[in-house]
Structure 1
Amino acid sequence: MLKQVRGALHRVMALFLAVPLVLAFALWGVPELRSMTQRAPLRVGDVGFSNKTLTDEYNRQMTARRNQNNGVYTREQAMADGLPDYVISSIATRSVLKQEAGKMGLIMPRKLVSDYLQKDERFVNPVTGKLDETELTGILQANGLTVTQFEEIIKDDLLRDQLINSVAAAGPAPAEMAKLMLLREVERRRVGYLTITDEMAGIPAEPTPDALNAYYEENKQEFFAPEYRSFTTVLLRYDDFKEGLEAPEEDLRRLYEANKARLYESPEKRTLYQITYDTEGEADAAVAALQQGKPFEELATEKGLTLAAVTFTDIDKGDVLDPKVAEAAFSAELKEGEVTKPVKGLFGWTIVQLAGVKAPETQSFEDVRDELASQYLEQDTRKRVLDMIDKLEEARDTGASLVAAAEEAGVRPQHFGPIDSFSMAPGGAIVNGIPGEVISEAFKLEEGEESNATDLSDGGYFFVQVDEVTPPAAR
């Protein structure tokens, strides 16, 4: 019995707790879980995916959804939408397709990736008809992608298309299917209909008592009272477990130091003017003109662009699309106002002029203390709730009822009912204060049964025990 109950609880909670907690702990760097997070939480075949990979993908999806919702999309909404599940599923699916493509010998040369980007209308400047690196860089920044990551995504997508197209290549349709499709296209039918209105039916006669009684007997099921249930629930809301919690200064400082480089330090940022030419000769001529005092804006105008279109403001090295251009643009030797030599990159010969430099920045512990404290207390609250679930389960494992287990653990069970599945009492009054998830679960169980720990949409968990079931009855 103990193993069955434990196993059921773990299965219920695995999807909703394990993945979000792994993502959350990877994001916030809780020191106590360091040994656990060293193992890959997701494996697809022989390929393992680290906490960082899961966290980065989760954050990219969060950013994308915030952009789609005018900047408003919380972690609570993400949990309700099943975003952690989606992240796991999408990473696993991409990995499966990539591994299968590898087994089939499908490859994707870098040149094909470059050609694909050059032809994709989303990245093409309508004036020049060529790749607009500003637009592409903006997309990468908005989605938190590096150039290498973006290139891998494009490679994987193109490989996936090759794989799917090779499997789903068109073959002859079955004869019966072709026949039905043809009939669907060429068959014509003539339809006639008659409309009968209420007025045409006339005024019905007043029903007699015998007629009413006969109608009632024939349609009793329409006049039945619904099923009513009485139940007991134990609500474990996060807000009820926050009292007395504190965030020790020492622990907050450890969290800060563990995440400082990743979350609270920003690298040097530069503002760049950048133009790409088809030939090295054109690029050399442009560099010479700049060195003789020609404004970069004039070079942009000659290419049919505005200065804004070739300006990359406050970007770091990882934001530059082309790795070779990034090396040149962020060279320590390049001073403000100077221009690089032409760089043979992914899309042609590129020149860069350094327009401005912003020194690296670090948020101090004091700057982010409130944020750290909030995160720390949130995790501590979750731990309290999970500890309470363990207490209740241990008591129930020894044979205690839900009510007895709750009283022993120091939480108050609540009794409701009789109500129907719409939270209405027999007299028609609406009974407030019962979470919808509790009612739904109570109407799934048999009389005397108890649920396992189940999620509350507004934060926390609940248990419910069905005390009494009143079947539907004729009125």
Structure 2
Amino acid sequence: MLHAMRKGASGWLAKGLLLLLVASFGIWGIGSDMLTSSVGNNVIEVGDTTVSLGEFQRDYQRNLNILSSRLNTQLTQDQARQFGLAQMTINNIASRALVDEKTRSLGLSANDDAVRTVIQSQPAFLNQSGQFDRFLFEQFLARNGYSEGEYINIVRNDITGDQLFGTLPLGLTGAPKPLTDTIYAYAAEKRSAKYIDILDSSIGFAPAPTDEELEALIGEKPENYSAPEYRKISYILLTPESVASAVDIAEEDLKAEYDARKSEFDTPEKRAVQQMIFETEEKAAAARKKIAEGADFADVAMSDLQLTKTDIDLGLLSPADLLPELQGPIFALEKGGVTEPVKTILGWHVATISDIQPGAASNFEDVKDQLRKDILLNRAQELLYAQATKLEDEFAGGAKLAEAGQSLGLTVLSTDWIDAEGKDKSGTAVSSLPDATGFLSEAFARSTGDDAEVSETAGGGYYAIAVDEIEPAAVRPLSEVRDQVTKDWQDNWRHEETKKKADALLVRLNGGETLEKIAAELGVPVQTSTPALRNDVASDLSPIALEGLFDLEPGAYGVNINKNNNGTLVYGIAEIVPADAAADTETYTEIANRITGSVRTGIVAEYENYLQKDIGISIKEELIREYF
């Protein structure tokens, strides 16, 4: 509940308003004066509520699982620390406990009916008919690591929290109009520029730099003129292809595999299904009767359930796509037939089919090659695993890569100099390197003399690497990069000349000359940019030039780099388009709502700070940091 209240405080506008409006409010968190405790086995105390280390660990692990799921990767403890997961868990627990303590003292409560209503109305738990589905609810609990009782307590806490905090900002009916007008006028103003673009290429001649000047440029930006680190490596690569010749597959084996997997290669019959789901058998039977008497299936769905044709259309389905109870009735129908009411966990179903797509049986000869490939892969994996295990045993016994390869009769491959991108010294990609994720990373993470290890590839193979030689990254000598650094120096020189030229033109403009006259002298056009907001990424101007445009007074001029970074702009204001709230009510309303939300968030934050001091919070921070 408190997270939802704070959600409106995100974004540049809300953050700025919070600074303006609630600078004196404390931001939610635990102050340093509260990070001590005399509790025994408890790590958090909020009033009379205590939280043990085990309880904290369960909440922490649940948050870790949820965050890992959202990021589609299992976070390590170090990554969790970087996300501040322990502090987030402390805040969550303390927030709930504060609500519990205060609502209990005020006699606020939420009965079971209220909790049930909230849970059964949450969209995540509703099936396609808009009805509460306990199966979806239980899936959610299992996925997020909650017991039913824990989740009910959380919902109950949210309800009582709404009772506690919901009335605090009721006196705030809207954002102050002068503040909204001021912020809107700033954010929604647009400006366009009239400008000339003096390209670096217009400075034709560039002097030849001295060696001292070239060496100085290399010293300023050594990364532009450095050779990468190169390495020579040796490796053993075990792939399914490398052991395929040792696998013999008889015709009988292929036929046995086909018999066992025939259904996998058969194309199942599919049917275009439409269905309605009712709460009771009586309602389903009544609908079935209407259809039997001539009513259209879709019309009944609309009249009885307010479902459109799109809502009831399930598309082409095979038996496996249906709930078990529906498979027989639906696949026993003729085209256009309608099932009797069928009971499932979701309710009472009435279904019809509008089309039948026949299935097709597979032929042994058609899938023979695929069977051979699958059997070969399975057997090769067994051989590969056995070889990889033997290789690990060799390394565990102290053998070096070459020694292990010789002992097991495995080929040891070697490279010439390569960089971390798999390129040789000429910059050409080395095509013979294994296409294995992590291979080059491991090759450039190891040192000469490191013990070899067996690593697995994504394709089911294995490899082991030894680093033979390392040539460290180093700045190339001037003799090797003279052409490149000379070009860079001359490009820089031209760019500086355009800036000097633009600065001189700026003096003339400030002296009263017009941009059009100067443009005519230079033989370049006066251009006009499209009106743009501040920080408009789609502007014709570079970001720094656009920022400068909004700093200019009418009649003044500025100088800045162009958008393509290959020249300098001399520009002034072409037009100022004032913000127009009447023509842009959507943006104006959004800003007003954000201001209102920020003020309300500030009120809640101030009350939270009061509750912290009034109820009291103690935390064993050092103990939590030791474990998490």
Relative to the length of structure 1, the TM-score reads 0.49
Structure exhibiting the larger radius of gyration computed from Cα positions: 2
Relative to the length of structure 2, the TM-score reads 0.39
**Structure with more relative contact order (C-alpha pairs < 8 Å, separation 6 or more):** 2
